[in-house]
Structure 1
Amino acid sequence: MYLKNTLLTVNKNGLYCAAGDFYIDPWRGVDRAVVTHGHSDHARPGSRLYLSCKKSELILKERLGNRISLQTADYNSPVVINGVTVSFHPAGHIPGSAQVRVEHRGEIWVVSGDYKLEDDGLSDPFEPVKCHAFITESTFGAPVYHWEPQEKVYEAVNGWWSRNCMQGKTSVIYAYSLGKSQRLINGLDHAIGRIYCHPAVASMNERVRQSGFTLKECTPLSLKEEQDYRGAMVIIPQSSGISEYMRRFTAPEDAYISGWMQIKKMRKSSGRPAAFTLSDHADWPGLLKAIKATGAHRIYATHGYTELLTRWLLDSGYDASVLPSPYTGRE
């Protein structure tokens, strides 16, 4: 159900604040866009003006181009847009990710963007923000999703890599170029062997470091140089043109790492011999904990298992509804 006559509404361009005349994570180019983070389903090209968290500045320019008109603000530093107060607050999703707090005439809304509660040691940890209305993502908004502690996941990945290394194989793991790859680089045991990454990951690594985040070293892959990849770990986005690289690897063993891998059917459909469950989104308990911490009674679920989460919230006494979005939630 669409929001109407409220501080934030939805129109053909996305989530809109009429009082301030700006959009939050618009679906297409608009006059003024407030952006929660650098993933492509939230940071869309074509807007005249952008506003983001300072720590996301270089990442957004890598995504959208250096010539965008971008204003930034530190976490917890209010910006006034046409009488509406906007501020960014850590979301814990990826480096530079933020929730957006919107206040006007005593009414406070918070747009979560994407978030997770587990501190990954890289991104600024999630901070709950008190509000009257909370728009929450629900990528993994189903009771089946309960994450293991990340240390156990890293232990499993390192064990898989170590076994491959002893057999002289190249370990190839598919991970999103922004967020998951950097988290994995820091979680891997660098004593096992060399770690390489696709140029798309390497480019994001540089922007993440320049933004002030601590990231371990990782060697960019090169098609120009011959390398011996036996025993190495290679991090590569699945959507990349990877065939040229794969031909250079010795007896490659590949794996997929994602929150979706918690479901057996998804593991089988990935077509990979190995799969690991690690997500940059909140699991079911994390979503419920975050929602409760806001103190909000009005909750709007978007991006993911919206109907299921909304039904649970309604049964629990919240005023909850689904906020339509062209995106279903991604890893």
Structure 2
Amino acid sequence: MEPVLTFTDNGIYCPAGDFYIDPWKPVPRAVITHAHSDHARWGNDHYLCTKDSVPLLQLRLGKEISAQGLSYGETLRFNNVQVSFHPAGHMIGSAQVKVTVDGQTWVASGDYKTENDGISGAFEPVKCHVFITESTFGLPIYHWKTQQQIMSDIQAWIYKNKQAGKNSVLLAYSLGKAQRLIYNLRGAVERFLVHGAIYNAHETLLQHGWPLPPVELITHDTPKEHFADSLIISPPSAADSAWMRRFAPYSLGVCSGWMQVRGNARRQNADAGFAISDHADWQGLLQTIRHTGAEKVFVTHGFSSVLARYLQENGIAAAEVKTDYGSEEDTTA
């Protein structure tokens, strides 16, 4: 039997349906798991994604793109191929892609996390014969605190900064991580002041009905006295920039799974590191693989060789696959 999906120089390909999943080179038909730029790239003739991802793809790639959106669980047919999207929990609109051909089901998970963050949708494991998993944090050292614990840590840090006369600045990726923080810290923060990249994503989501609290765009006219009563959120790209210096004196916090490793915050010249990730930790990866019931697992971007070897040693057929994903991992993770 021919494989449902194959791994090519353009990306993950479905021969029976003649489409690619998250291609890294331009193709006629692209099926997209989520709107981060390492998975949703410019230049494809047509994009198929979840309905919630359509406005985010248009924000990133331009309103002129040809994009079709499906609801979670809705099935589309290409020839004898059935395609559907299922919640991945990674960010708003993110999905796993379920592909079934002649009774064989493969699932390409894209990026995913197993803890429900309250805004991105709860992850749902999908039964399949073959599962394609990421492994961004595919090492046993990566074990996340609960989101509630992390949010409490951030609130305590903000209070400590205020007592010390410092403004609080968090670095968080503009699409996904920033909205997760804003949504879950609402009520604990008087005002959110944000960088333009975060503001644009936030406004797009507000326009499409997402229940996010309001934020204020930081401009040259933003009163400095607002800084002390606000949580300032910036993308990592603005760190050590002239834009950042306006907030002095400030304390800098980094929100990333990489903060799990001692010393990473110091290497980024940060005062605090919060290990909050939009990817599954080691136990989340293993639990998900077990729940799929997959007979074969392909492991992509991250610590792929480690996870693949662990699965093999524990009786699960697994193989490492090289992809072009992960170019944003240092910032979105």
What is the TM-score of this pair, normalised by structure 2?
0.94
2:289 counterpart residue number: 291
1:19 counterpart residue number: 16
1:157 to partner: Cα distance = 0.7
Structure 2 Cα separation of the partners of residues 38 and 200 of structure 1: 14
**Correspondence for 1:309 among 291, 307, 310:** 307
Is 1:32 paired with 2:29?
Answer: yes
Structure 2 Cα separation of the partners of residues 65 and 20 of structure 1: 26
1:191 to partner: Cα distance = 4.2
Contact 2:155 2:188 in 1 (8 A): no
Is 1:217 paired with 2:214?
Answer: yes
Residues 52-72 of structure 1: per-residue CA shift (max 9 Å, x gap): 011111111111110000011
Contact 2:114 2:280 in 1 (8 A): yes
1:204 counterpart residue number: 201
Q: Secondary structure at the match of 2:92?
A: coil
1:175 to partner: Cα distance = 0.3
Structure-2 change in CA distance of 1:241 and 1:309 (3 Å): closer
Is 1:142 paired with 2:158?
Answer: no
Residues 293-319 of structure 1: per-residue CA shift (max 9 Å, x gap): 111110000010100000110011111
2:321 counterpart residue number: 323
Structure 2 Cα separation of the partners of residues 192 and 289 of structure 1: 34
Q: Which runs of 5+ in 1 are unaligned?
A: none
Structure 2 Cα separation of the partners of residues 211 and 125 of structure 1: 19
**Aligned-pair identity (%):** 46
Q: Which letter does structure 2 place at the counterpart of 1:281? A: H
1:220 to partner: Cα distance = 1.4
The worse-fitting range, judged by mean Cα deviation, of 79-88 and 307-316 is: 79-88
2:153 counterpart residue number: 156
**Correspondence for 1:259 among 257, 260, 265:** 257
Contact 1:164 1:171 in 2 (8 A): yes
Q: Which letter does structure 2 place at the counterpart of 1:41? A: D
Structure 1 consecutive aligned stretches of length 4 or more whose deviation exceeds 6 Å: none
CA RMSD of aligned residues (A): 1.7
Residues 132-187 of structure 1: per-residue CA shift (max 9 Å, x gap): 00001111111111100011111111111111122332111100001110111122
Q: Secondary structure at the match of 1:141?
A: coil
Q: Which letter does structure 1 place at the counterpart of 2:169? A: V
Q: Secondary structure at the match of 1:113?
A: coil
1:300 counterpart residue number: 298
1:67 counterpart residue number: 64
Q: Which letter does structure 2 place at the counterpart of 1:103? A: T
What is the TM-score of this pair, normalised by structure 1?
0.95
Q: After the TM superposition, which residues 173-252 of structure 1 pair with which residues of structure 2 at under 5 Å, given as runs?
A: 173-188=170-185, 190-228=187-225, 229-240=227-238, 243-252=241-250
Contact 1:257 1:277 in 2 (8 A): yes
Contact 2:18 2:29 in 1 (8 A): yes
Contact 1:76 1:88 in 2 (8 A): yes
Structure 2 Cα separation of the partners of residues 12 and 293 of structure 1: 30
Contact 2:32 2:48 in 1 (8 A): yes
Structure 2 Cα separation of the partners of residues 226 and 328 of structure 1: 38
Q: Secondary structure at the match of 1:260?
A: helix
**Correspondence for 1:271 among 269, 272, 275:** 269
Contact 2:38 2:324 in 1 (8 A): no
Structure 2 Cα separation of the partners of residues 54 and 191 of structure 1: 31
Structure 2 Cα separation of the partners of residues 180 and 38 of structure 1: 13
Contact 1:137 1:304 in 2 (8 A): yes
Aligned residues: 328
Structure 2 Cα separation of the partners of residues 169 and 193 of structure 1: 16
1:326 to partner: Cα distance = 2.3
2:92 counterpart residue number: 95
Is 1:132 paired with 2:119?
Answer: no
2:78 counterpart residue number: 81
1:109 counterpart residue number: 106
Q: Secondary structure at the match of 1:52?
A: strand
Q: Secondary structure at the match of 1:158?
A: helix
Contact 2:39 2:325 in 1 (8 A): no
1:102 to partner: Cα distance = 0.3
